[in-house]
Amino acid sequence: MHCDFQDDPFGILPPLNQMHHSLPLRSIYPAVVDSEATYTNYTQKFQGTLDYICFTQNSLRGLAVSNTYSYEELSAETALPSPTQPSDHILTVGVFAYT
């Protein structure tokens, strides 16, 4: 679990197992390339996916997504942000068509 959800000093976050909605959302990466982006955040304390582009398939179709980076590429940077990546979050882009 990401560290943002591990501490709630003001007691304002509902329990994660009680957070839900009824929207039929799908992430664009598995819809287009059959797997989620491995990394959208790469820091010393956390390496993984935090950012998602979600859509409803009843009105949109995912056509393309931006390339992702491999562990080898990101570990060469040590951590983000870096001289080549201006943010600790990696840019994610999705292209859609109306259905």
Could you give the CA distance from residue 87 to residue 70 in angstroms, rounded to a whole number?
Answer: 17
Phi, psi of 56 (to 5 degrees): -105, 130
What count of residues does the chain have? 99
Give the global pTM.
Answer: 0.76
Using one digit for the tens of pLDDT, what is the confidence trace for 6-51?
778 888 887 777 778 899 999 999 999 999 999 999 998 899 999 9
Pick left, alpha or beta for residue 84 (phi over 0 → left; psi -120 to 50 → alpha; otherwise beta).
alpha
The token pair that represents 69 in the structure block? 């980076």
Q: Where are the domains of the chain?
A: 26-98
